[in-house]
Amino acid sequence: MIKLKAYVETAILADVLIKTGSESDAAKDALRRYKHTLLPVYAIKEFKAGPLAYVSYLNTKLLDCGSYPATLMALSRVVKQPNRVATCLRLLSELHNEIVNQPQTPGLVTQYGSLAEADKRIYASLVYESKVLVLKAWLRCSTLTTEIVDDLVCYERVAPKVRRNGRYNLQPTTCKTEDCCMTSKLRDRSIELNKLVTTIKKEPAKRENPPRQRVLHDLAVRKNFKMKDKDCKNLGDAVFALFCPADADILTTNISDHRPLAEALGKTAVSPKDVVSSKP
């Protein structure tokens, strides 16, 4: 049974604000099914440092490389951060497909003449669309849900700025203090923290699990533990399980990671597919 409230996870933001196609449509449809949609500031922080930063990175690559083919080649050579590269390649493909199917505008014809039919028009449009997408996604982030909840006083929500060289500055993306404000909210919840530690131990090995388990353990047993920004990031999915209200569903596309954590605390995690297929 789907609840009346949804506690919106970061991947949903990416699906709605950045992606196109069936995944985006499903996420939007799922949000509309809920009477109340709650967006924690932690999800906004993750979104800005992750998916939104990927769009900014793509825009920078386009500006640095000078053409669509050169950008594709440069991205294909990046070895580190495979998630970022995969997101950029997918977005670049989606933007390219949209642009080549659009009628050319008089402004681009005036600027490039006959070349408006070819690579320069496409490249200019890719630079423009990726640049606009960063600001558009950030602005829509604040209005996507019925409510923004669980403020983080140690984190400032500052809009992206464009530097003089045309590249984006997304700072700040981190906590501004040496001890995240969530520390005081979690320190006395050792029973729940230990339940999550036990659950993570039973899960298949993943790169993010050991650091997440360590932070949860330190919060549970170390009275003077200070959670730095790296620790805050490492908590990741556990934050949604810990702070989601009991009368809300965690709405996420990452069910395999979120559901075990949610169920360990007697809560529910659902996907857009679950919501759309459920009876009203």
Highest mean pLDDT among 20-24, 94-98, 147-151: 147-151
State residue 89's pLDDT score.
94
In-domain check, residue 187: no
Residue 120 lies in a domain: yes
pLDDT of residue 104: 58
First and final C-alpha spacing in the chain:
9
Q: Can you tell me the distance from the alpha carbon of 36 to that of 188, in angstroms, rounded to the nearest whole number?
A: 28
In a domain, 223, yes or no: no
pLDDT at 111: 56
User: What are the tens digits of pLDDT across the range 182-218?
Assistant: 999 999 999 999 999 999 999 999 999 999 999 999 9
For all residues of the chain together, what is the average pLDDT?
92
C-alpha distances (whole Å) from 118 to each of 96, 99, 105, 218, 263 are: 12, 11, 13, 57, 53
Question: Which domain, by its residues, includes 42?
Answer: 5-179+233-277
* Residue 99 pLDDT: 84
Instruction: Convert the pLDDT of each residue in 63-115 to its tens digit.
Output: 999 999 999 999 999 888 888 999 999 999 999 988 887 665 555 555 555 55
Q: Tell me how far apart the alpha carbons of residues 171 and 155 are, in angstroms, rounded to a whole number.
A: 11
Contacts of 221 by beta carbon, 8 Å cutoff, 6+ apart? 190
Looking up tokens 């990726």 gives: 130
Res 259: pLDDT:
98
Average pLDDT on 271-277 reads: 94
In a domain, 215, yes or no: no
Asked if residue 224 is part of any domain, the answer here is: no
For 81, left (φ over 0), alpha (ψ -120 to 50), or beta? left
Residue 143 lies in a domain: yes
CA 84 to chain CA centroid, nearest Å: 11
pLDDT at 100: 80
Burial of 63 (0-12, 13-18, 19+ CB in 10 A): middle
Averaged pLDDT, 154-176: 95
The answer to whether residue 193 sits within a structural domain is no
Closest to 47 (Cα-Cα) out of 10, 99, 81: 10
Residue 144 lies in a domain: yes
**Domain count within the chain:** 1
